[in-house]
Amino acid sequence: MDASALYLKIQSQLDHQLPFVVYRKSGEKKINSFLQNDNHLYDVNAYDTSGFVFAPFDSEDKAILIPTDKSSYYSAVILSERKVQNQNQSSSIHNNHKAKKSHIKLVEDGIGAIANDSFKKVVLSRKEEMTFPSKDYLKVFQQLIDNYPNAFVYCWYHPAVGTWLGATPETLVTIKEDQFFTMALAGTQPYVDSLEVYWGAKEIEEQAMVTDFVLNELSSKVSSIEKSSTYTYQAGTLLHLRTDIKGFLKNKKSSVQDIIKVLHPTPAVCGLPKKPAKSFILKNELYDRKYYTGFLGELYINHKGKTESNLYVNLRCMEMSSGKAIIYVGGGITKDSISEKEWEETVRKTETMKKVLH
């Protein structure tokens, strides 16, 4: 099937208010889609069913599945690459004193909690609403594809939940038979014209915390584990510090649910130690993250005769609702954080999404 025919099928799905997901994996020239045959809301219980999972930040809340046995699968090769030009955006956020004041206070409260030894790191976020009267969500999806070749790009819809789009640079976990791959991603700075950049102590420490957590927590669940050296990774207009982690599960029947329980939410979206950091977030952010910093992706999908699960952390995402685009952004807070700079980092991250909406 060619891409234009597939987009027509997906648009028909949207017009008939039937659930679907369409996505493109990092570095690939192919889009994949699952179009659900009914409008039922299927919950994930034991992470033992094949389909596309969409899970919230708070693991106490239910994840949603578009099951393979209730859906039609289609794929198509992408031919075009139309990069969106960076535009001078008179974004209201730069002048939004109330939002800035609120986020700076939240960050300073987080830094204070770290000083009181409540935790070592916490990831604090906010949301920003933009007017977006168009319902041409597939066009936004195409813009994301063209601009973020190294991200997992998706458009997900369920009539009982809504529409979400994103371009995330972060893998939660990939499992192929008994092999697994994950990553530790932390630290952010704008990409200018080179990957040869300076990273400060705050970013290096934050990234090391994430790496150590993943290695320590996973080691008891797997038969072997190893990590790469840390390197600078480009995701669209931003740079991050990244360490790749891989190894083998104890057996092919090792539960994906066990791995998810260890990793989600990762220190890159929650903090360390996880429990007090998450408690601080739920108490102090004063809004519901919903699926932002949750995870999404393929669960037990057959690829060329082998079963794979490819799950991604839901970063750089937005929710489309009643003529608005709600953009979710955050950043990791450590003892060395400076609240003004943390605010500026969230502004840079909103631009990642805004440039595809203009």
Domain boundary assignment for the chain: 3-354
Per residue in 286-320, pLDDT tens? Answer: 999 999 999 999 999 988 888 899 999 999 999 99
Burial-class residue 97 by CB neighbours within 10 Å (0-12, 13-18, 19+): exposed
Name the pTM for this structure.
0.92
> What is the average per-residue pLDDT within 33-44?
97
Per residue in 111-165, pLDDT tens? Answer: 999 999 999 999 999 999 999 988 899 999 999 999 999 899 999 999 999 999 9
Query: Above 90 in pLDDT, residue 243?
Result: yes
Given pLDDT bands bounded at 50, 70 and 90, which one contains residue 82?
Answer: low
Query: Above 90 in pLDDT, residue 23?
Result: yes
% of the chain residues with pLDDT over 70: 95
> What is the average per-residue pLDDT within 1-24?
95
Which pLDDT score, from 0 to 100, does residue 93 have? 39
Query: Above 70 in pLDDT, residue 92?
Result: no
Strands 271-272 and 222-227: unpaired
Collapsed DSSP state (helix, strand, coil) of residue 103? helix
Q: How far apart are CA 66 and CA 38, in angstroms?
A: 10
Tokens of 71: 């859906």
**Strands lying side by side in the sheet with 71-77:** 71-77, 30-36, 20-24, 152-158, 162-168, 317-321, 324-333, 121-131, 271-272
- Could you list the beta-strand ranges (E) of the chain: 20-24, 30-36, 42-43, 51-55, 64-67, 71-77, 121-131, 152-158, 162-168, 171-176, 179-190, 222-227, 231-235, 238-249, 271-272, 295-303, 306-313, 317-321, 324-333
For residues 131 and 352, which has the higher predicted lDDT (pLDDT)?
A: 131
Which pLDDT score, from 0 to 100, does residue 94 have? 44
> What is the average per-residue pLDDT within 171-184?
92
DSSP H or E stretch at residue 196: none
> What is the average per-residue pLDDT within 177-199?
91
Given pLDDT bands bounded at 50, 70 and 90, which one contains residue 253?
Answer: low
Superfamily of domain 3-354: Anthranilate synthase (3.60.120.10)
